[in-house]
Amino acid sequence: MDHLFVSCLFLILLFLILAKFQGPEKAYVFCSVLPIVLEVVAWLCEKRFGFGNFAHRIWHLSFDSSYLLLMFGIVLILRAFLAKRRKMILLGATALAGVPIIIIAMTELH
């Protein structure tokens, strides 16, 4: 469970730094790519070096950040809906952030 705390702190710091310069929507769009990048890095490390401690931690970081960004994306979509602002970019970014969760759900079904 400690990996969820680390993921949350990492995402909060990254989002706050980006939001200060770009605004919350653009910062979220940038952060939403992070889970997929982490998943690809973990997959490549696993294929190259085998399933070790580093790949295991990157997998956890990928899935935890995907879960957290998915929840945060829903909040941003609701905020944009209430403020009558553009929603399509946030919808796409939220769907992109949820890809690792969808992949793990699909692999667990087999």
Residues 25 and 81: their CA atoms lie apart, in Å, by 13
Residues 12 and 20: their CA atoms lie apart, in Å, by 12
Length of the chain: 110
> Domain range holding 12?
2-109
pTM, two decimals, is: 0.83
Question: To the nearest 5 percent, what fractions of the chain are helix, strand and coil?
Answer: 90, 0, 10
Hunting for tokens 């070790």 — which residue is that? 52
Q: What is the pLDDT along the chain (110 residues), one digit of tens a residue?
A: 677 788 888 888 988 999 999 888 888 889 899 899 988 988 888 888 877 788 788 888 888 889 889 998 898 889 888 888 777 888 889 998 988 888 888 887 66
Domain count, the chain: 1
Residues 85 and 67: their CA atoms lie apart, in Å, by 24
